[in-house]
Amino acid sequence: MTLLISEATIDDAAALAECAAITFPLACPPGSLPEDIRQHIGTELSTGRFEAQIAAPGRTILCLREDGRIMGYSMVVLDQPTDTEVLAALSHSPVVELSKFYVHPDHHGRGSAATLMTATLDLAAQSGLPGIWLGVNQENARALRFYTKSGFRIVGTKRFHLGTRFEDDYTLEQALPVNARAGTAA
Ligand SMILES: CC(C)(COP(=O)(O)OP(=O)(O)OC[C@H]1O[C@@H](n2cnc3c(N)ncnc32)[C@H](O)[C@@H]1OP(=O)(O)O)[C@@H](O)C(=O)NCCC(=O)NCCS
């Protein structure tokens, strides 16, 4: 298995949307409505949406590639949170947001997610900002365990709007190394 991690380009948008359609449902709690999940995939995770995010300043998508196929991706964002619950929970400011982190099920439990996380945290550290945060569904035990193993800790709760319902998330954060080289990440 040869894995390669590199930044997404506009040519990756359709493959990212394909990977997202497989992986996003895995992050949803059992009670989520299938039509809400479908709608979220069709709007927020479409090829066009990925094209816009790849082109947008202040955000970077990393692709986990195996033999040219995208088997996972992460997205870091330099925009600062506006959600008051998140702001109250975080101990670092300003922060990088780990906005998306998804790995194809064929790669679960194989260390691929850790490889992607290492590259993602390296990229985030290059921003020179002191911390990184994310939101994850409270029922997503596998992701919670993975994020905890990766150095994050739960600092609060927030709500995530999925279709017609609000889902309950945890807010997690971790410090980024202060001596990281400041550059042009994300
Ligand atoms: C989250 C994700 C990236 C983690 O990658 P992974 O390869 O599954 O992670 P790992 O196998 O390294 O770690 C998962 C841990 O959770 C544990 N785990 C698995 N299922 C679990 C469950 N139902 N309850 C509790 N822990 C569980 C595993 O045993 C492992 O812990 P361990 O190493 O201490 O044994 C991947 O599962 C994924 O992409 N999931 C779908 C999308 C998603 O949920 N993304 C996060 C959105 S916020």
Sign of CA dihedral 157, 160, 69, 38: positive
Ligand 1 atom at minimum distance from 111 CA: 12
Q: Which residue has the tokens 């739960």?
A: 154
Give the pLDDT confidence of 85-119 residue by residue, as tens digits: 999 999 999 999 999 999 999 999 999 999 999 99
Q: Is residue 82 part of a domain?
A: yes
pLDDT of residue 61: 98
In angstroms, what is the C-alpha Rg of the chain? 16
Give the pLDDT confidence of 40-88 residue by residue, as tens digits: 999 999 999 999 999 999 999 999 999 999 999 999 999 999 999 999 9
Count of domains for the chain: 1
109 contact partners, CB below 8 Å, separation of at least 6:
none
Q: Is residue 183 part of a domain?
A: no
- Testing ligand 1's pocket by substitution, the residue of 1, 116, 134, 142 carrying the most ligand atoms inside 8 A of its CB is 142
Residue whose CA lies nearest to ligand 1 atom number 17: 142
Q: Is residue 181 part of a domain?
A: no
Ligand 1 atom at minimum distance from 107 CA: 7
Ligand 1 — pocket residues by CB below 6 A? Answer: 23, 26-27, 101-103, 108-109, 113-114, 136, 140-143, 145-146, 149
Residue whose CA lies nearest to ligand 1 atom number 33: 146
pLDDT of residue 167: 86
Q: Is residue 22 part of a domain?
A: yes
Mean pLDDT of all residues in 6-11: 98
User: What is the pTM (predicted TM-score) of this model?
Assistant: 0.95
Distance 102 CA to ligand 1 centre (A): 10
Give the pLDDT confidence of 148-182 residue by residue, as tens digits: 999 999 999 999 888 888 889 999 999 999 765 55
Q: Retrieve residue 62's tokens.
A: 């990393």
Residue whose CA lies nearest to ligand 1 atom number 18: 142
Q: Is residue 144 part of a domain?
A: yes
- Testing ligand 1's pocket by substitution, the residue of 24, 146, 148, 158 carrying the most ligand atoms inside 8 A of its CB is 146
pLDDT of residue 54: 98
pLDDT of residue 182: 55
Give the per-residue SS3 of the chain.
Answer: CCEEEEECCHHHHHHHHHHHHHHHHHHCCCCCCHHHHHHHHHHHCCHHHHHHHHHCCCEEEEEEEECCEEEEEEEEECCCCCCHHHHHHCCCCCEEEEEEEEECHHHCCCCHHHHHHHHHHHHHHCCCCCEEEEEEECCCHHHHHHHHHCCCEEEEEEEEEECCEEEEEEEEEEECCCCCCCCCCC
Distance 184 CA to ligand 1 centre (A): 30
Assess contact for 27 and 140: CB atoms under 8 A: yes
Q: What is the CATH number of the domain that holds 94?
A: 3.40.630.30
Domain that holds residue 8: 3-175
Mean pLDDT of all residues in 21-30: 95
pLDDT of residue 186: 47
Distance from C-alpha of 51 to C-alpha of 62, rounded to nearest angstrom: 14
Q: Is residue 67 part of a domain?
A: yes
pLDDT of residue 184: 45
